[in-house]
Chain A
């Protein structure tokens, strides 16, 4: 008795923790699979579903179950993947599986149907535990009886909602016509007579059903076959697909293949809610399942409101033979999807009278912004977006680590110095490894140059690598001890086709295809340019995504601040001293104030927003300057110029400097156009 009670308590706790799938529409999931190039054109997609959402280090990570079969094979061979997305639906990693499909999530644990060896490597187990923002996965095994089954919770959630609006569409079978604008908005659930009809959100070909694969989609052999797809959003955390051969005025006849597995139908549709609601599940052969469900009265289809996300799929109109005893609807091929009111989706919106589409809160994440930009350019393949996503992922990891810096006892030096001779911080190490790891997994990356590594990291196995990424993983890290802002700076160069990586490591800043930085401050801000404007994004911790917050950033032509380490004033060249005197004495037409944080990214970010000038001039001690050309001066110079400002080394334009080594130092003066031009005149350049 005590054992049973303990088991109940454990299960209750686990059920409470069970994470429901975030309510992503299938269109978004499908688009994300396409954008991530996860759908192989040589395979036939037979199933995809959003299984559940993991919570990893405080952020949401949707899990998608993706199944394909190899086209053209005499005997179909399955290729199945678990796809882990980040909260912006950008793929983080994929894990191949055989039959061990994902079932549900509890926090950062993903439970599987059977033991899986990730990458065919031992150990194998039925629970995948993710960490490091999905980059690391540990495999373990629990007894199936100990699974925190979500069924109870699902059923509690079932009866509470009513369907009001359906979007109906008549996409062609075989077409991937997403976001069709000809969907009709109905005021209530009902059957329509359009054909051929297949929901445009469903996969473009459905599979025939057989008992062991209840979650295949309906496909072709049976002309009357109709699929009922419970996509698992609210119905349950497990995707379930059931196939019947008719949907007739509220009757759902379950095809013989599924009919003998009554308990699955029961769980999927919630029998308590069905009772008396007018849905009949009928095995045409009159099996046991039919008896169980025929207690319901034939009424209308509306009782299916118990499922918030149900698709009815039909291949072609039903003919007279398929109607059976039901007379009032003769050609009821239907597909319908509920647009969930409230929550993320604010409802449905009419467009041009007959059209409808979900009304989303329009936010632009960095991934969609990059995609939008590059889909219009020559890089329509998404490679650049995929590459940059490595940086966004790494910086989110770094931001999360910084947030808990004081808690994790990671203050202070790790007892080593980096190649620059600076005391190396633990967070430096973490940030560097995060960047190396996240970018090293992108096969589009040919080489990485980090402030923390004395040599470039070249990925010889990345045959298609076309980008060289230069970065300072944690600029100003010595400021962590005093809780002052730090940042990550990056710069991206293209490796020309056919060129060896070594020969193109040292390029002028003018060759940068993108540059940016992340400022870890009161909020985490990501600023980047690809040479057509500067855009700033703020990390929304609620959804774990960088959201566009500064569109087309422009640096004021003149500001009111200058930023320099004045302790070095006496060691500056006389020209710089003269310039600073001008600023202080109002000779630039206004009185300047001094702001100096000592964290390059923070000082630059202020200069970008407020205008003015940032200076790190040569000193007696460091006559060539202190800042690094490749991963500090170059990226900030490109951003400044793109925002309308200027950047100089004191001898000429920063972006024209030909580097001689990857850790080359330079002086840097960057800021508003008027301030920098005045200094250039004094310096005679």
Chain B
């Protein structure tokens, strides 16, 4: 795929202009945090921070961009889904973000370039994560509780009432999945439906283009590849 020569000329400037490296430490530190925190999750392989740096170059267009010292990663642009997802901790983002970052995203100015980069990195990890919803029992609740079924109860209403899940009720009470009856005794432990990280997509330029960029720019992967090749030529 042929990239627009005006675009390549812009990023080629990164070969000689050190300003393009301004956020290196931020990205390194952020990616290192994910590598450490998520390293033990299923299917995770260590992520090269330069991949995220390439995302920065592609997203921003470099130091001449108006947003270079603001929303450098474009997170928080009106109409952009990423910021809302991160603020809500939705789509698994709460699983990948540090508590501090989530709080910062909710409370601080997203126009701060460092926070913008941290948010974008979190969104990349969110989009490349695979999440599954599962019933998780509260580890601090070590004893069985009992509940006597009342008229009008359903598994859903009981779970809601006592703070557990339908899945947990079914698991601990064989037969409850089919029918329950008034005065029946049910055993339960506190549980909730929680997201778990069940795996990871490969951190490739193609996947970032698909899951992070959402096909908005058909040349996104090619641009990332171009920038990654460019990094090999940078001698600073």
- Which residues of A come within 8 Å of B, CB atoms? 40-43, 67-80, 96, 98-99, 117, 119-124, 210-213, 415-419, 424, 429, 452, 454
Q: Are A452 and B152 in contact, CB atoms less than 8 angstroms apart?
A: yes
Q: Are B74 and A73 in contact, CB atoms less than 8 angstroms apart?
A: yes
Q: Are A429 and B81 in contact, CB atoms less than 8 angstroms apart?
A: no
Q: Are B215 and A78 in contact, CB atoms less than 8 angstroms apart?
A: yes
B132 at the interface (CB under 8 A from A): yes
Rounded to whole angstroms, the CA-CA distance of A70 and B79 in the bound complex is: 6
* Distance of A264 from chain B, by nearest CB (Å): 16
Q: Are B77 and A73 in contact, CB atoms less than 8 angstroms apart?
A: yes
- Contact partner of A75 among B1, B61, B92, CB < 8 A? B61
- Contact partner of A43 among B79, B133, B213, CB < 8 A? B79
Chain A residues contacting B195 (CB-CB under 8 Å) are 121
Q: Are A98 and B77 in contact, CB atoms less than 8 angstroms apart?
A: no
Chain A residues contacting B219 (CB-CB under 8 Å) are 210
Q: List residues of B (141-193) whose CB comes within 8 Å of A's CBs.
A: 151-154, 179, 181-182
Known: A74-B65, A417-B152, A452-B152. A79 touches B81 (CB 8 A): yes
Between A and B, 15 residue pairs with Cβ closer than 8 Å are A67-B215, A71-B77, A72-B77, A73-B77, A73-B80, A74-B74, A75-B213, A75-B223, A78-B215, A78-B216, A117-B130, A117-B131, A123-B132, A418-B151, A419-B152
Rounded to whole angstroms, the CA-CA distance of A74 and B73 in the bound complex is: 9
Known: A74-B61, A99-B210, A120-B131. A418 touches B81 (CB 8 A): no
* Distance of B198 from chain A, by nearest CB (Å): 5
* Distance of B214 from chain A, by nearest CB (Å): 4
Chain A residues contacting B61 (CB-CB under 8 Å) are 74-75
* Distance of B106 from chain A, by nearest CB (Å): 14
Nearest A residue to B132 via CB reads: A122
Known: A77-B214, A79-B81. A122 touches B152 (CB 8 A): no
Chain A residues contacting B130 (CB-CB under 8 Å) are 117, 122, 124
Q: Are B152 and A98 in contact, CB atoms less than 8 angstroms apart?
A: no
* Distance of A15 from chain B, by nearest CB (Å): 29
Q: Are B91 and A79 in contact, CB atoms less than 8 angstroms apart?
A: no
Residue interface mask B40-66, A partner, CB < 8 A = 1: 000000000000000000111100010
Rounded to whole angstroms, the CA-CA distance of A99 and B152 in the bound complex is: 45
Chain B residues contacting A123 (CB-CB under 8 Å) are 132
Q: Are B131 and A122 in contact, CB atoms less than 8 angstroms apart?
A: yes
* Distance of B203 from chain A, by nearest CB (Å): 16
Chain B residues contacting A124 (CB-CB under 8 Å) are 130
Q: Are A74 and B91 in contact, CB atoms less than 8 angstroms apart?
A: no
Q: Are B218 and A120 in contact, CB atoms less than 8 angstroms apart?
A: no
Most chain-B CB neighbours within 10 Å: which of A42, A77, A210? Answer: A77
Nearest B residue to A74 via CB reads: B61
Rounded to whole angstroms, the CA-CA distance of A78 and B126 in the bound complex is: 16
Residue interface mask B63-76, A partner, CB < 8 A = 1: 00101000000100
Q: Are B151 and A79 in contact, CB atoms less than 8 angstroms apart?
A: no
Q: Are B214 and A80 in contact, CB atoms less than 8 angstroms apart?
A: yes
B24 at the interface (CB under 8 A from A): no
- Contact partner of A74 among B67, B133, B198, CB < 8 A? B67
Rounded to whole angstroms, the CA-CA distance of A210 and B220 in the bound complex is: 13
B211 at the interface (CB under 8 A from A): yes
Nearest A residue to B157 via CB reads: A453
Rounded to whole angstroms, the CA-CA distance of A452 and B151 in the bound complex is: 11
* Distance of A215 from chain B, by nearest CB (Å): 11
Chain B residues contacting A417 (CB-CB under 8 Å) are 151-152, 182
Known: A73-B74, A120-B131, A454-B152. A78 touches B79 (CB 8 A): no
Nearest A residue to B150 via CB reads: A416
Q: Are A98 and B211 in contact, CB atoms less than 8 angstroms apart?
A: yes
Rounded to whole angstroms, the CA-CA distance of A73 and B132 in the bound complex is: 31
Chain A residues contacting B220 (CB-CB under 8 Å) are 75
Q: Are A416 and B151 in contact, CB atoms less than 8 angstroms apart?
A: yes
Known: A74-B67, A418-B152. A120 touches B216 (CB 8 A): no
Chain B residues contacting A424 (CB-CB under 8 Å) are 151-152
Rounded to whole angstroms, the CA-CA distance of A572 and B230 in the bound complex is: 92
Rounded to whole angstroms, the CA-CA distance of A210 and B223 in the bound complex is: 15
B127 at the interface (CB under 8 A from A): yes
* Distance of A126 from chain B, by nearest CB (Å): 14
Q: Are A74 and B79 in contact, CB atoms less than 8 angstroms apart?
A: no
Chain B residues contacting A67 (CB-CB under 8 Å) are 215
Rounded to whole angstroms, the CA-CA distance of A124 and B82 in the bound complex is: 20
* Distance of A418 from chain B, by nearest CB (Å): 5
Rounded to whole angstroms, the CA-CA distance of A43 and B80 in the bound complex is: 8
Rounded to whole angstroms, the CA-CA distance of A419 and B153 in the bound complex is: 10
Q: Are A79 and B79 in contact, CB atoms less than 8 angstroms apart?
A: yes
Rounded to whole angstroms, the CA-CA distance of A452 and B78 in the bound complex is: 42
B112 at the interface (CB under 8 A from A): no
Chain A residues contacting B131 (CB-CB under 8 Å) are 117, 120-122
Nearest A residue to B196 via CB reads: A122
Chain B residues contacting A76 (CB-CB under 8 Å) are 213, 216-217
Q: Are B215 and A99 in contact, CB atoms less than 8 angstroms apart?
A: yes
Q: Are A42 and B218 in contact, CB atoms less than 8 angstroms apart?
A: no
* Distance of B182 from chain A, by nearest CB (Å): 6
Chain A residues contacting B80 (CB-CB under 8 Å) are 42, 70, 73, 77, 79
- Contact partner of B81 among A96, A211, A452, CB < 8 A? A96
Rounded to whole angstroms, the CA-CA distance of A120 and B154 in the bound complex is: 29
Chain B residues contacting A418 (CB-CB under 8 Å) are 151-152
Chain A residues contacting B78 (CB-CB under 8 Å) are 42, 70-72
Q: List residues of B (96-152) whose CB comes within 8 Å of A's CBs.
A: 126-127, 129-133, 151-152
Known: A74-B74, A122-B198. A213 touches B127 (CB 8 A): no
Query: 17 additional contacts, CB 8 Å, given A74-B60, A77-B214, A212-B218?
Result: A40-B79, A41-B79, A42-B78, A71-B77, A71-B79, A73-B77, A74-B67, A76-B213, A76-B217, A77-B82, A78-B217, A79-B79, A117-B131, A119-B91, A415-B179, A416-B181, A454-B152
Known: A70-B80, A74-B60. A416 touches B182 (CB 8 A): yes
Rounded to whole angstroms, the CA-CA distance of A76 and B214 in the bound complex is: 9
Q: Are B74 and A77 in contact, CB atoms less than 8 angstroms apart?
A: yes
* Distance of A334 from chain B, by nearest CB (Å): 27
Q: Shortest 5 CB-CB distances between A and B: which pairs?
A: A42-B79, A78-B216, A78-B214, A42-B78, A76-B216
Rounded to whole angstroms, the CA-CA distance of A40 and B59 in the bound complex is: 21
* Distance of B213 from chain A, by nearest CB (Å): 6
* Distance of A323 from chain B, by nearest CB (Å): 28
Rounded to whole angstroms, the CA-CA distance of A212 and B213 in the bound complex is: 15
Q: Are A70 and B152 in contact, CB atoms less than 8 angstroms apart?
A: no
Nearest A residue to B195 via CB reads: A121
Nearest B residue to A117 via CB reads: B130
Q: Are B79 and A416 in contact, CB atoms less than 8 angstroms apart?
A: no
Rounded to whole angstroms, the CA-CA distance of A424 and B154 in the bound complex is: 11
Rounded to whole angstroms, the CA-CA distance of A89 and B20 in the bound complex is: 49
Known: A42-B79, A72-B77, A210-B218. A77 touches B213 (CB 8 A): yes
Rounded to whole angstroms, the CA-CA distance of A499 and B73 in the bound complex is: 39
Q: Are B151 and A120 in contact, CB atoms less than 8 angstroms apart?
A: no
Chain A residues contacting B152 (CB-CB under 8 Å) are 416-419, 424, 452, 454
Nearest A residue to B211 via CB reads: A98
Most chain-B CB neighbours within 10 Å: which of A74, A119, A121, A211? Answer: A74
Rounded to whole angstroms, the CA-CA distance of A120 and B201 in the bound complex is: 12
Nearest A residue to B215 via CB reads: A78
Rounded to whole angstroms, the CA-CA distance of A40 and B80 in the bound complex is: 10
Nearest A residue to B221 via CB reads: A212
Q: Are B215 and A213 in contact, CB atoms less than 8 angstroms apart?
A: yes
Known: A42-B79, A117-B130, A121-B131. A429 touches B91 (CB 8 A): no
Residue interface mask B202-236, A partner, CB < 8 A = 1: 00000000110111111110010000000000000
Known: A42-B78, A120-B91, A120-B131. A75 touches B216 (CB 8 A): yes
Nearest B residue to A414 via CB reads: B179
Q: Are B215 and A75 in contact, CB atoms less than 8 angstroms apart?
A: no
